[in-house]
Amino acid sequence: MIVVVAPGQGSQSPAFLEPWTADPEQRAYLETLSAASGIDLVAHGTTSDADTIRDTAVAQPLIVAAGLLTARALFSRVDRSLVAGVAGHSVGEFTAAAVAGVLDDEDAVRLVAERGRAMADAAALVETGMSAVLGGDADELAAALERHGLTAANHNGGGQVVVAGELASLAALAAEPPAKARVVPLQVAGAFHTRFMAPAVERLRSAAAGVTTHDPSLRLWTNHDGTEVGSGSRFVELLVGQVSSPVRWDATMESFAAAGVTGIVELAPAGALTGLAKRALRGVPSVAVKTPDDLQAAVDLIEGAA
């Protein structure tokens, strides 16, 4: 049982789409997504620098477009029906929604572009950010977060929690971390999945109201609590709400384990979720599809499980 997973913000890097755009068909598809999103995704995926693609309004549609580009290439080589299900981390849930057929590709990037703009505007109101906390005692971390006015925004499993809040508070936590814990600042421009993003929720809800949804054609898990969602309209409601609520990727991986998942394929820009899976789902093989050269390994994993 193979599941496809889509990463979230912070997974992008300069020129990561360059190997994909060498294929004229893939480049043309990315240009179609650019037109839908109103953003030059070809340029941002090939020539823009790290600071430019760190901008939330750019990063979010770029990451979703990259996942859709990868999925399209993957399913041109292997029968989509051989994949058991799909899930995405944070903004990767828009990728997952399109892969599962809840949204069409152009609606997914159009909607996520509005999400990115709304979250960028919300982030501009107060200087906030996010940091990964690796290791340490959970109770001690909870006490430190309360002391500094921070929030656990992403429960990623594998001993990793991403915390969010004002930059001064994040710096204070890094200066005095819980015992045996390491605090690593993330390349994101805001306290996503917290109360600081509340202004973005209504904007995304308004944009989502005009989008046609379909029930998923693949098993689809939500970050909200790790459960499967069988209704397309319900999944989009959860997409709207997750802007200001925590990501429970730990619960999603627990659901994978309970469902009997035997392998994971991560769409571009890949690496973060397969890394978490290696720690939380020990023994489950995974493939991170970073470039077209990784597609054959993904096909082999999917066909080998059939």
How many domains does the structure of the chain reveal?
2
Domain co-membership, 161 together with 262:
no
Nearest Cα to Cα of residue 122 among 8, 49, 202: 202
Where among 150, 167, 185 does a domain terminate?
A: 185
Tokens of 12: 């992008």
Domain co-membership, 105 together with 90:
yes
Instruction: State the greatest distance between any 2 C-alpha atoms of the chain, in Å, as a whole number.
Output: 53
Identified catalytic residue from 193, 224, 244, 255? 193
Full 3-state SS string of the chain? CEEEEECCCCCCCCCCCHHHHCCHHHHHHHHHHHHHHCCCHHHHHHCCCHHHHHCHHHHHHHHHHHHHHHHHHHHCCCCHHHCCEEEECCCHHHHHHHHCCCCCHHHHHHHHHHHHHHHHHHHCCCCEEEEEEEECCHHHHHHHHHHHCCEEEEEEECCEEEEEEEHHHHHHHHHCCCCCEEEEECCCCCCCCCHHHHHHHHHHHHHHCCCCCCCCCCEEECCCCCCECCCHHHHHHHHHHCCCCCECHHHHHHHHHHHCCCEEEECCCCCHHHHHHHHHCCCCCEEECCCHHHHHHHHHHHHHHC
Task: Please list, residue by residue across 199-214, b when 16 or more beta carbons sit within 10 angstroms of its beta carbon and e when fewer do.
Answer: ebbebbbebbeebebe
Identified catalytic residue from 90, 131, 244, 286? 90
pLDDT at 47: 97
pLDDT tens for 61-116 read: 999 999 999 999 999 999 999 999 999 999 999 999 999 999 999 999 999 999 99
CATH of the domain at 298: 3.40.366.10
Domain co-membership, 105 together with 19:
yes
Domain co-membership, 150 together with 277:
no
Domain co-membership, 110 together with 59:
yes
Q: If the chain, 306 residues long, is cut into consecutive pieces of 10 residues, what is the mean pLDDT of each piece?
A: 94 95 96 97 97 93 98 96 96 98 97 96 93 92 94 89 95 93 88 94 94 97 96 97 95 96 97 92 95 98 90
pLDDT at 109: 98
CATH of the domain at 148: 3.30.70.250
Q: Mean pLDDT, the chain, as a whole number?
A: 95
Domain co-membership, 91 together with 199:
yes
11 as an active site residue: the answer is: no
Tokens of 259: 């469902």
Domain co-membership, 108 together with 143:
no
pLDDT at 158: 78
Q: Which domain holds residue 176?
A: 128-185
Domain co-membership, 118 together with 218:
yes
Domain co-membership, 171 together with 53:
no
Where among 185, 206, 227 does a domain terminate?
A: 185
Domain co-membership, 282 together with 211:
yes
Domain co-membership, 179 together with 211:
no
90 as an active site residue: the answer is: yes
Domain co-membership, 63 together with 107:
yes
